[in-house]
Structure 1
Amino acid sequence: MSRVRVLFIDAYDSFTNNIVSLVENQLGVEVTKIHIDSYVGDLATFIQPFDAVIAGPGPGNPEVLDDVGIIASLWRIDETHIKPVLGVCLGFQSLVCAFGGRMERLSRPRHGISTQVDTCGKDLFNGLTDFQTVQYHSLRANLGQPEPSCIASEPCSELTPLAWDLSDPSGGPILMSVKHRLKPFWGIQFHPESILSSSEAKNVIRNWWLLCKKWNQSREDLRGVEKTQSCSLNNDASGDTYTVDSLSPSSMPATPSSENSMSSNTSYTTTRESSIAENYVHTAIPLDRLTVSDIVHRLELQNDEFVVLDSEQRLMANLGRYSIIGQVDRITTKLTYQAGNGVIKITTAEYTALEQVGSLKSALSYLKNYLNQHKVENGYRDIPFWGGLMGYITYEGCLETIGIPTQTHANRDDMCFAFVERSIVIDHLHGVVILQSIKSGDEIWLQSTSSKLLGTSPTTSIKPATPEALISRLPEKSSYMSKIDRCQEEIQAGNSYELCLTNQAAFKSRKSPSCTSWQKYQTLRALNPAPFASYLHMNSATILSTSPERFLNWARPTLDEHGRSLSVCQFRPIKGTVQKTQILPDGTPHGVALQEAMQILSTPKETAENLMIVDLIRHDLHGVVGSGNVTVPTLMQVEEYATVYQLVSVIEGSIYSTPALSSRTSGIDVLASSLPPGSMTGTPKRRACEILNTLEDEPRSIYSGVIGYMCVGGGGDFSVTIRTVFKWDDEDEGGNETWRIGAGGAITILSDVQGEWEEMCGKLGSTRRLFKE
């Protein structure tokens, strides 16, 4: 018996994989995904092996051919080759346009908004009462009917309305669903796959499938045609080889195929099996009153290259348990990459090598294989890091992973990782310091380091320092507000649902031995306690970060009850911010209590911002871990930080792998498929980044990228590089150095221009306080 197959045509949306997961889980079918610009030859012939087709959502206008591509051809396929089709959002709009309807702009676009859908109670909505569902659209379909009705009429007599949104009397009714009177074509404007859509909305997919099977059976009874069992794709419109991405349903959590992992068969990849290093050594000493700063000072690291991932904060013990100090010396191996040149540079004590990889995504694949060659299995089990790669990726480097070309400064690394062999992990919960090394025969270093940290001589503290800004360049209000207006125009036109607009400030200060970068970091750390703070000085970059936001964490793999490798990964996006202290119109400060912040962060504007990023991250995760392996344990919870309240969600995915796979899926695959951070881009991610590139005046650089580690034991953890001060050595001039700070916010159609300006200034102010102006 042949497998039941559904073809999904993706319009480069950021929710596609959520729909694929819903369809596979609800229907038990196999979904094959192509893009609107994939070359398929004759579309009518190409779709024959499939039982049905879904025309997916996406940015743009259905009347613009480049926005819908081959979707527009679906509705013109002759009766002999016709297949059941469901159009979702943009696909629905394309169906309406194909049979006489027209599009018009909504007075208030609906992105991340949950409303009630009133249905006809039949066809797609058989057995379903009116229900709540999420919408993501700026345009609405107009069939030319004077009043909402479920009866086909001129001028679109071939389309029968099935559902309406009547929740906004001032804006008028919005058509939510149609069917073709004679052909097996259906469409829905809403998004049943959203995490906030009701179960009734999701059951629309079941009803559609029952209608598909009924139509297919009647066609087979009539024609007795046996389906072809083969399907092939040649090249897509860009000329690159296109691989069909197919996810397999299962009663157990799906095991992703190696096709869902980054390629490990490219020319630069080593062919040796991964090796297990047996040279891990460690020792544990009591933390007592030692701080991260004390350890750095006693080991005299403050003037050297090193990395600190600093979670020494008390507000959130579940996130602030571990701090990690990675030593970087003159013989430390570094792996770097510059966006646009396609080459990864490996620098060791003995040599420098260049490897052609093509893109940052492939560079991450290189790092994955590099770690496999240095794998450790006998590390200290109670800590997350045993040694491995510590470093950062810039925003421009991240853009390469979604196919957006970028050129950056020749002297600056867009990816920079050091292979850290000697490290110190502080367990703040249990008051323990773990000294560890993955260098062969490194017991002497452990002994000498222990002696330095256990020494009875008093620690001479390194005093925090506040630099004086000689010159400050701050965002210009009228320019920023104009860009907010342009963002909202793009959203109004249907080109994006949400745009995370940013700006930069620059501060020039004089270099001074009494105000080192490490001292500046200590000052910033005291001003902004945060669970994902970090300090990095490596090559030409110096980063002082007090980030409150985890981007991605993945656990060291373990075996589940089926003998499969299991690693759980977690995202913690922040969208929605309230300053704890606000200045009233009369100039007096007002302290915001938690309850007040919760009320502010429960408004439609704030929840829509967060929801869009949650659905985007679910899409990114589903694309790697497979259908049915993504959960949202926390949705829109208010968390308290030192200076702000934030609206936070938690999304988790289960990465399954088996020894039989030639290239195991890992957290690095998730990292490569999720950049840049969705909380810093908007949705759909690719189109949002393209629009933002035209609006923002300069590269974001370090800001909006990620910083963290990939462990030789298989785990990893990265934060989003926000609330961060950074500099590049090539900007040092005449004894002065230039420090930069990025800040911004998510622009939606509900955004208030003045409010967005104030939010950006508030975020900027949290780090700007480092400088005397």
Structure 2
Amino acid sequence: MAIGNPRLLLVDSYDSFTFNLASLCKQCIPNCTIYIVKNDRFSMPEIAPLLSSFSAVIVGPGPGSPENDHDVGVIKDLWNIPEKSTLPIFGVCLGLQSLGVAYGAQLKRLDVVKHGQISQIHHTGVELFHGVGRVEAVRYHSLHVALANGGDVEELAWADDGAENGRVVMAIRHASRPYWAVQYHPESVCTRGGGLEVIQNFWRLAQAWSIKTRRQIQPWNTNLENMLGKPWQSYPLASPVRPTLSQSRPSVATQVCELPTVTAATVSELFGVRNEASPFVLLDSAAQPGRFSIIASLMPTSLQITHFAGDDFLTLTWSIHSRQERMGPGRDVWTWIASFMAGKRVHDGHPDIPFWGGLVGVLSYELGVRSLDVAFNKETHVRRHPDLNLVFVERSVVIDSATGRVFVQSIIPNDDPWISDTVSMLTEASPTEVLPILRPELSPLSPVVALPDKSRYIARIHEAKERIFAGDSYELCLTARTSISVPKSKSLPASLSTSWDRYQGLRSKNPAPYSAYIRLHPTTLLSSSPERFLSTSRPPNPIFQLRPIKGTVRKAPGITRAVAEEALIGSIKEVAENLMIVDLIRHDLHAVVGEDVQVKQFCGVEEYETVWQLVSVIEGTFKPGTSGASDSDTQLGWEMLRTSLPPGSMTGAPKKRSIEILQTLEDQDRSIYSGVFGYWCLGGGSDWSVTIRSCFKFEDRSNAASEDCNSFENWHIGAGGAITALSDPEAEWEEMITKLKSVVGAFGA
């Protein structure tokens, strides 16, 4: 007799694939409810009484070693609970290793690490593998177990790594207790044959054992709910904070023009981009597959919102006014912004464009770090650039490069005169043919470029690889900062923007689909990013899409698509890097939307203006009726952004442990670099790009001693690469230098 409505307890070891495993269990075990707890949340005396209310326990994967109590927490005790409290347990990766070590297995390092690599799994065809045929499974491990001869744990499956590692245990069972485990990752998107089928077999074995032993599952009660929290399906949105500003519901007034020769640069010039003292934002689709460019027409009254991670307040600035807004107990910047936007929702903008008005700006890498409860590195943390720097856009122009249409729009009531004047201005400025942009001559003096120290960077790569070999991470995205000091041109007025001309040079040398010129004091960002991070379609039923890039081949004579595909798809290292981030992103999406997550494209080679890139596309859909989907659906994109920062393609996996390691390997905060920039539309959609191939500067206009009040402009560029067990340090250094070239070249260096 089957167990109806089973309850599972999933023990999470701070992994970045946990929700993928939860989703797989939901597919395999009908009507199951899953509660997820961190491995250090409860001690064994605290968790033991709870186990009688669960049908089974799933011990998930995670970084570290089963011999390190900090890494496994309560897991080490689960395998030795009193016989009267025994219940079925299934372990994955670290779960298998901890089970093996608990019963006498020897823990060893692999000679050749297997992270994001696919192996054929040989098996006995019984128990977990009953009725299972060929298994090709993804492995994420640098440690493995050698079982004790004649011990309580028996082998069910293995991989033959030949000369690399020999025979490696891939699945085990306990001889007398209902414990099973696999070393590979059944939840990975590229596991075939050993995922769904094996979890189904575990559940069949678990039910049979429970029926045979007449195990009685205790009823659920509210005390358990209070201790464990809500079950997994999705995380409902946080309770909204009462908006502190206007609750009016604006309408969007729009006029559409056919102006195929009007460019984003033309509109920006007309909107005063050259006035360095004023804020300005341009999100620029400078190359395919980008399509829409958004230019804000900011006013002195436009609201700028800034926040430093760790503070309990935001700063609101408009006109000559500035005030601090405290968020209140139990609230954070994410809930404050969500509440602010909820009070300004609109529904009537033009359906053909993605942005009607709303927030545009920059979020730092450290803002995402803080959201993961990772403490700042006190030795490197400097409070200069706000970690959240957004401006509320009420007037804007959107250019559709695919159709040549220009949309002039405003959410300010009775703003038709501005719209008409802007349309007239753009019509008069529209040439009959596209003319080259004339830029003023910049300083003839050469910039001074300060690259990272090569020997230090390579030493850090070796340190990163050692942490990977030790099992602490699968992939570490190591970065370093380059600085450029540019002598100012004495022939230019102080108010005239040279940063705009720097941007035009960057755009010319490296046109990118997610380019941007964002000047929100004290930060100026010039971006030629090729990577969209997260886009969210408008409600209802929003679709979240992430497009991670791992793997790049620069265009050159003879580099055809076929050559690029062979170099990228044919590379074990490139595909493994991409796969790790795909699985990480699936986990982040499952955390918010529940089960409906699909990989629409895995490791596709896409052509860009100057490069071929290995791109995957992952989508999640928030289904009607899912907890949290209601009038708050316009906030879902913001919640998804909070959950998925920092970008996994810029951290590695598992994300939290990788960030903690990177803080010991990098000499400075990343700040703007590795964060995201983009918009959140008042209609509920959003689009954010990864801040790479970019540079930024700091300017405190209230301080005469600031960087840009002297005779130099000081710019900063971040660059790096994903370090894996297969990384060659010299090649990684050269890859970083190659990434720097396009940005540094915009300064004439």
**For 1:102, which of 106, 117, 120 is the aligned residue?**
106
Alignment-derived partner of residue 304 in structure 2: 334
Offset of residue 482 of structure 1: 0.8
More displaced stretch, 405-414 vs 629-638: 405-414
Shift in CA distance, 242/648, structure 1 to aligned 2, threshold 3 Å: farther
Q: Please, which runs of 5 or more residues in structure 2 have no aligned partner? A: 700-705
| 1:326 positional shift | 1.4
| C-alpha distance in 1 between matches for 2:105 and 2:168 | 13
Instruction: Report deviation, 1:339.
Output: 1.7
Supply the RMSD in Å over aligned alpha carbons: 2.3
What do residues 469-497 of structure 1 show as CA deviations (whole Å, max 9, x unaligned)? 44221122211111111110000000000
- For 1:455 and 1:57, how far apart are their aligned partners in 2? 62
Tell me the equivalent position of 2:532.
Answer: 550
Say if 1:178 and 1:188, in contact at 8 Å, map to a contact too.
yes
CA contact (8 A) 1:336 1:413 kept: yes
Separation in 2, partners of 1:569, 1:532 = 17
Spell out the pairing of 1:706-725 with structure 2 (5 A cutoff).
706-725=676-695
Cα displacement (A) at 1:411: 4.0
Q: Of 485, 500, 520, which aligns to 2:462?
A: 485
Q: 1:71 to 1:771 in 2, by over 3 A?
A: same
Contact 1:312 1:322 in 2 (8 A): no
Aligned to 1:414: 387
C-alpha separation between the residues in 2 aligned to 1:359 and 1:579? 50
Moved more, 428-437 or 730-739: 730-739
AA partner of residue 642 (structure 1): E
Give the secondary-structure state (helix, strand or coil) at the position aligned to 1:228.
Answer: coil
Deviation at 1:82, TM superposition (A): 0.8
Aligned to 1:72: 76
Q: Determine the structure 2 residue equivalent to 1:16.
A: 18
Distance, in Å, in 2 between the alignment partners of 1:457 and 1:115 is 59
Specify which of 256, 270, 273 is matched with residue 298 of structure 1.
270
For residues 661 and 271 of structure 1, the distance between their equivalents in structure 2, rounded to whole angstroms, comes to: 22
Q: Deviations over 1:24-53 (max 9, x none)?
A: 012121111000011365322111111000
The aligned counterpart of 2:601 is 634
Q: Could you list the per-position Cα deviations for residues 566-596 of structure 1 after superposition, in whole angstroms to 9, with x for gaps in the alignment?
A: 0011000000122224xxxxxxxx6533222
Q: Which residue of 2 aligns with 1:770?
A: 746
Q: Write the letter of the residue equivalent to 2:504.
A: Q
Task: Give the Cα separation in 2 of the matches to 1:130 and 1:278.
Answer: 59
Give the deviation of 1:441 after TM superposition. Answer: 1.4
Structure 1 residue 58 and structure 2 residue 33: aligned? no
* Within-5 A mapping of 1:100-499: 100-144=104-148, 153-154=149-150, 157-220=151-214, 225=216, 227-230=218-221, 232=223, 244-248=229-233, 256=234, 260-265=235-240, 268-270=241-243, 277-303=249-275, 304-313=278-287, 316=288, 319-349=289-319, 351-357=321-327, 362-406=332-376, 408-455=381-428, 461-463=437-439, 468-499=445-476
Mapped partners of 2:57, 2:175: distance in 1: 18
Letter of the structure 2 residue corresponding to residue 307 of structure 1: V
Question: 1:578 & 1:428 partners in 2: Cα distance?
Answer: 26
- For 1:560, the equivalent position in structure 2 comes to none
- Counterpart Cα distance in 2 of 1:137 and 1:200: 17
Aligned counterpart in structure 2 of residue 624 of structure 1, from 587, 592, 597: 592
**In 2, distance between residues paired with 1:336 and 1:66?**
37
- Report matched runs for 1:508-587 at 5 Å: 508-512=485-489, 513=492, 516-557=498-539, 565-581=540-556
Structure 2 counterpart of 1:38: 41
Residue 623 of structure 2: SS of its match in structure 1?
Answer: strand
Post-superposition offset of 1:733: 4.9
Provide the rounded CA distance (Å) in 2 between the counterparts of 1:369 and 1:702. 25
The whole-number CA distance in structure 2 between the counterparts of 1:741 and 1:525 is 16
Residue in 1 that maps onto 2:484 = 507
Shift of 1:413: 0.8
Distance 1:92 1:752 in 2: 30
Mapped contact 2:271–2:297 kept (Cα < 8 A): no
Contact 1:464 1:522 in 2 (8 A): no
Residue from 612, 624, 628 that aligns with 2:580: 612
Q: Name the structure 2 match of 1:646.
A: 613
Letter paired with 2:263: T
Return 674-683 or 287-296, whichever deviates more. Answer: 287-296
114 and 548 in structure 1: CA distance in 2 versus 1, 3 angstrom threshold? same
CA positional deviation for 1:342: 2.9
How far 1:465 sits from its partner (Å)? 6.1
Residues in 1 aligned to 2:382 and 2:329: alpha-carbon distance in whole angstroms: 16
The 1-side partners of 2:330 and 2:457 are apart by 31
Deviation at 1:451, TM superposition (A): 1.6
Classify the secondary structure of the residue corresponding to 1:525. helix
Equivalent pair of 1:309/1:323 in contact (CA under 8 Å): yes
Correspondent of 2:86 among 55, 65, 82: 82
Q: Is the alpha carbon distance of 1:678 and 1:170 closer, same or farther for their aligned partners in structure 2, counting shifts above 3 Å?
A: closer
Matches of 2:99 and 2:325, distance apart in 1: 48
CA offset at residue 71 of structure 1? Answer: 0.6
Which shows bigger deviation, 70-79 or 192-201? 192-201
Contact 1:364–1:672 at 8 Å: present in 2 too?
yes
Q: What is the alpha-carbon distance in structure 2 between the residues aligned to residue 399 and residue 618 of structure 1?
A: 19
Instruction: Tell me, in whole angstroms, the C-alpha distance in 1 between the residues paired with 2:630 and 2:266.
Output: 46
Query: Quick one: which amino acid aligns to residue 90 of structure 2?
Result: L
The CA deviation at 1:436 is 0.5
Q: Secondary structure at the match of 1:302?
A: coil
Aligned 8 A contact 1:340 1:359 in 2: no
Return the offset for 1:279: 3.1
Question: Structure 2: how far apart are the matches of 1:161 and 1:186?
Answer: 10
Aligned to 2:737: 761
Residue 688 (structure 1) aligns with: 658
Scaled by the length of structure 2, the TM-score of the pair is 0.92
Answer whether contact 1:465 1:519 (CA < 8 A) is retained: no
Q: CA contact under 8 A between 2:147 and 2:154: conserved in structure 1?
A: no
1:229 alignment partner AA: W
Cα distance change on mapping 1:469 and 1:691 into 2, 3 Å: farther
Query: Does the C-alpha gap of structure 1 residues 709 and 464 become closer, same or farther in structure 2, counting only changes over 3 Å?
Result: farther
Q: CA deviation at 1:186?
A: 0.6
Judged with a 3 Å threshold, the aligned counterparts in structure 2 of structure 1 residues 45 and 19 are, in CA distance, closer, same or farther, namely: same
Task: Give the CA deviation at 1:661.
Answer: 4.3
**In the TM superposition, what whole-angstrom CA distance separates every residue of 1:257-290 from its partner, at most 9, and x where no partner exists?**
xxx134125xx54499x96724321111122311
The letter for the 2-side match of 1:568 is I
Query: Percent of aligned positions with the same letter in both sequences?
Result: 41
CA pair 568-464 structure 1, distance change in 2 beyond 3 A = farther
Distance 2:440 2:191 in 1: 50
Is the Cα–Cα contact under 8 Å of residues 279 and 441 in structure 1 kept in the other structure? no
Count of residue pairs the alignment pairs up: 721
The separation in 2 between residues aligned to 1:84 and 1:460, in whole angstroms, is 71
Distance 1:752 1:349, change over 3 A: same
Name the counterpart of 2:702. Answer: none
* Gap change, CA 1:245 and 1:695, over 3 Å in 2: farther
1:576-617 Cα offsets, whole Å, 9 max, x none, are 122224xxxxxxxx6533222211112110100000000000
Letter in 2 for 1:141: V
* Displacement of 1:364: 2.0
Give SS of 1:741's match.
Answer: strand
SS in 2 for 1:283: strand
Deviation at 1:463, TM superposition (A): 1.7
